[in-house]
Amino acid sequence: MRQIWETPGGIHPEQNKHQSTGEQIGTIAMPPEIILPMGQHIGAPATPIVEVGQTVLKGECVAKPEGFFSAAIHASTSGTISAIEERTITHPSGMRALCVIIKPDGKDTWAPLNPCDDYTQLSKDEILERIRNAGIVGMGGAGFPTAIKANPKSNRKITTLILNGTECEPYITADDMLMRERADEILLGAQLFCHLLTDVNEILIGIEDNKPEAIAAMQAAANALNDERIHVVSFPTKYPSGGEKQLIQILTGKEIPSGGLPAQLGIVVQNIGTAVACHRAIVHGEPLISRVTTVVGQTLEKQRNINVLMGTPIGFVLQEHGFVSDYKQRIIVGGPMMGFAADNQNVPIIKTTNCILAPSTKELPLPAPAQPCIRCGMCEQACPASLLPQQLYWFSRSEDVEKLEEHNLFDCIECGACSYVCPSNIPLVQYYRASKGTIKLQREEKAKSDHARLRFEQRQERIVKAEAEKEAKREARKQAALEAKKLMAEKAAQPANGETENTTNAVDKTASKVVDPVTQKAKLTRALTSAQSRLERANAQLQTNIDEDNGSRKDALQSKIKQAELKVNDAQNKLDAFNKEHDISSSEPGTPQAKNSSAPSNDKGKDATSPALKKMAMSDAEKQAAAVASIEKRLGVATQKYKEAQEANTPTADALKLGVEKLEQKLSDAKAVLAQQANDVSANTTQPVSKNEADAALGAIERAQAKAKAKAAMTDDEKKQDQIASLKKRIDKAKTRLNKAKDENDDNIAAFENAYNKLQDKLTQIS
């Protein structure tokens, strides 16, 4: 005998297993309608691949899996697709969801199958693919796609395969009967799993000791197979030993870490029915289209297990078993401990339906009214997860989320043992479900608001940065103006040289301050076209959304369109006004100021400007050197002029002399600064042109100013190139952002796309 381990808690409810084990697994007549919900498993619902009116054969795929966590759905008999529509599905919430409805033709004709006598000839991927295509999911619990479970991450070595034949819930005997009747198929299925999992060195078949026939049958089959990895392990009956976590604890003494998976312990647990289904899928090529279900309860004439087609309405099953409705009738899908009440008789049997319980009111009395919790602690003694149900109950009532999490609410497996023993009849599990729901919702909301806050902060940062830049630019302009004034004054001292200098200043000023009408007009036109294109896009989007009948999105888009229209109008108005104001004559280049100046030619002005401005872009030391050089040059020119004037004896000679002296003074000053800079490495804060700017804080301004000037100094072409380059850079950035958003499925995709398109538009406009 293998060692087994004790588990905490647990209860011993009335077994009620004998009613349904008296007969062999039976079958029932063909139902008038087959209802196949698209979501019978954990994960995304399948997508129908058939059309209404199409005929299908038994075993033909009617819906393909949607993504990794999904499973295919097959026609469980031959017939015609009569509808693809929303129906109430077999789900605790009683929600409606998409179903494929088949009207059976009564012939039950099989589609061609793809059997395989020796699966070891197939590659593992091929086997997994076949399991996946057969639509097999865990048939005992939540419907986890089996292909995924049979293919754990490569870094997890699975050494133990557990087949769960516990069936600890009262009333249910589907696995029990399967083990009695098809033990060989179960073990072949287990061997198939081992083949897929490679490293398995023990197959544990856990069965509660209240199923002696099943244990004997499995043992006999194991002996026949002569596979020494197989161990049939029986252990005392106790609810909920069949929970995955509890079964692992009983058989191995290990516990799955909270929030973890059995695979972390090198264990995979499979259901008995799933093993049979996998075996049949590979060896016989049969997809999962029927299952063994227990039909039991005192309102039925006949209680037994049946092999029933998926999609058979529960009402039909009941009717076939002589169902007479009781007062306040409940129909429970699953067992009395964890099953849920079906909404009506039209919900179908699905892949996870292991039992239909139609109890009389006497058999399972309705819950008595809850009394106050007397803290008797019986729930605590019953809890298999070693939680404190009474505490969880109090915290649930006071909605103390923190305490609930502290007491590990999420480790509750909702087995119902606590509710079962509670002498005050408190529906404890109901409280836990509600609290879990609330907490999950809160977590989602928190994640959302965190995201929003982050975005807000980033935006604030951007705004602050933009403000700082603007400020720097403003300062730069101010400095430029000051400098211009100074230069003007200097020019007054050198009238002969004044012309170009003056132009430089004028261009300087106007370049940074006044936008010429042509650019302005171009800008306005651009604004107009971009607004128009935005409007078009919004319209197009609206159209697609109308087609998709997406209500809330439509409203949002409509308001967007209105905004876009307003913008278009606005832009149009502005452009009109501008055109009127400037007539068409505004195509003439240059600004009034530039016109006033004696050098109207823009090109000339710019040529003259560039050396002066280039200097601003240079490093401080270079700048200083350049300044010295320029002053020397100017000094040379001035001296030359002064000499000429002296020779010609013009009245300006004195003034010129003053200028020469001044320049000499300046030169020596500049030279001194240069020398000092050579010594002083941190001298880049020292400003060459005016010494009172030697303040470090102004360094940034100086640099911004230099940049602005450098820009102003560029030719149109250069400017354009520059702009294009920067735009391209921005487009790249926008693109990566957009892609990232797409990857993360961010809800700002639209905004990013918009920004990206806008940038693209701009680029085409410029180049």
In whole angstroms, what is the distance from residue 395 CA to residue 555 CA? 42
Stretch of 38-46, 47-55, 423-431, 523-531 contacting ligand SF4, by CB under 6 A: 423-431
CB nearer other proteins, residue 174 or residue 333: 333
- Which of residues 197, 342, 356, 412 is near ligand SF4 by CB under 6 A? 412
Q: What are phi and psi of 307, to 5 degrees?
A: -95, 110
Read off the tokens for 627: 């300044």
> How many residues sit close enough to other proteins to count as binding (CB under 8 A)?
76
Q: Does 389 bind ligand SF4 (CB under 6 A)?
A: yes
Tell me the residue length of the chain.
Answer: 767
Q: Does 377 bind ligand SF4 (CB under 6 A)?
A: yes
Least distance to ligand SF4, CB of residue 249, Å: 13
Q: Does 371 bind other proteins (CB under 8 A)?
A: yes
Stretch of 116-124, 381-389, 485-493, 600-608 contacting other proteins, by CB under 8 A: 381-389
Read off the tokens for 238: 């106790």
Q: Identify the H or E element spanning 258.
A: none
Residue 339 Ramachandran class (φ > 0 left, ψ -120 to 50 alpha, else beta) = beta
Among 353, 462, 451, 443, residue whose Cα is nearest residue 91:
353
Least distance to other proteins, CB of residue 343, Å: 7
Residue ranges in 119-158 that form contacts with ligand SF4 under rule CB under 6 A: none
Q: Does 434 bind ligand SF4 (CB under 6 A)?
A: no
In whole angstroms, what is the distance from residue 706 CA to residue 712 CA? 10
Residue type, 756: Y
- Which of residues 10, 11, 349, 560 is near other proteins by CB under 8 A? 11
User: What does 260 interact with, of other proteins, ligand SF4, none (CB < 5 to 8 A by kind)?
Assistant: other proteins
CB nearer ligand SF4, residue 138 or residue 384: 384
- Which of residues 277, 306, 385, 638 is near ligand SF4 by CB under 6 A? 385
Residue ranges in 167-186 that form contacts with other proteins under rule CB under 8 A: 170
CB atoms under 10 Å from CB of 383, counted, come to 25
In the block, residue with structure tokens 């502290």: 406
- Which of residues 292, 387, 531, 712 is near ligand SF4 by CB under 6 A? 387
In whole angstroms, what is the distance from residue 577 CA to residue 344 CA? 70
CB nearer other proteins, residue 395 or residue 642: 395
Q: Does 619 bind other proteins (CB under 8 A)?
A: no
> How many residues sit close enough to ligand SF4 to count as binding (CB under 6 A)?
30
- Which of residues 67, 106, 212, 377 is near other proteins by CB under 8 A? 377
Q: Does 595 bind other proteins (CB under 8 A)?
A: no
Give the number of C-alpha atoms closer than 13 A to the C-alpha of residue 23, restricted to the C-beta side.
14
Residue type, 370: A
User: What does 368 interact with, of other proteins, ligand SF4, none (CB < 5 to 8 A by kind)?
Assistant: other proteins
Least distance to ligand SF4, CB of residue 414, Å: 5
Stretch of 370-378, 455-463, 515-523, 677-685 contacting other proteins, by CB under 8 A: 370-378
- Which of residues 2, 107, 157, 375 is near other proteins by CB under 8 A? 375
Q: Contact 589/602 with Cβ under 8 angstroms?
A: yes
In whole angstroms, what is the distance from residue 496 CA to residue 491 CA? 8
Q: Contact 164/272 with Cβ under 8 angstroms?
A: yes
Residue ranges in 232-261 that form contacts with other proteins under rule CB under 8 A: 245, 249, 255-260
- Residue 656 Cα to chain centre, angstroms: 76
Q: Contact 170/17 with Cβ under 8 angstroms?
A: yes
Max intra-chain CA distance, the chain: 137
Q: Does 616 bind other proteins (CB under 8 A)?
A: no
Q: Contact 98/45 with Cβ under 8 angstroms?
A: yes
In the block, residue with structure tokens 């923190």: 402
Beta strands in 158-218 (DSSP E): 160-165, 202-208
In whole angstroms, what is the distance from residue 337 CA to residue 169 CA? 7
In the block, residue with structure tokens 């590979």: 282
Residue ranges in 300-319 that form contacts with other proteins under rule CB under 8 A: 315
| Burial environment of residue 556 by CB neighbours within 10 A (0 to 12, 13 to 18, 19 or more) | middle
User: What does 379 interact with, of other proteins, ligand SF4, none (CB < 5 to 8 A by kind)?
Assistant: ligand SF4
Least distance to other proteins, CB of residue 386, Å: 5
Least distance to other proteins, CB of residue 294, Å: 15
User: What does 352 interact with, of ligand SF4, other proteins, none (CB < 5 to 8 A by kind)?
Assistant: none
- Which of residues 29, 374, 492, 678 is near ligand SF4 by CB under 6 A? 374
| Burial environment of residue 681 by CB neighbours within 10 A (0 to 12, 13 to 18, 19 or more) | exposed
Q: Does 383 bind ligand SF4 (CB under 6 A)?
A: yes
Least distance to ligand SF4, CB of residue 336, Å: 14
Residue ranges in 260-279 that form contacts with other proteins under rule CB under 8 A: 260
CB atoms under 10 Å from CB of 326, counted, come to 16
**Residues in contact with ligand SF4 by the rule CB under 6 A:** 373-379, 382-385, 387, 389-390, 393, 412-418, 421-424, 426, 428-429, 432
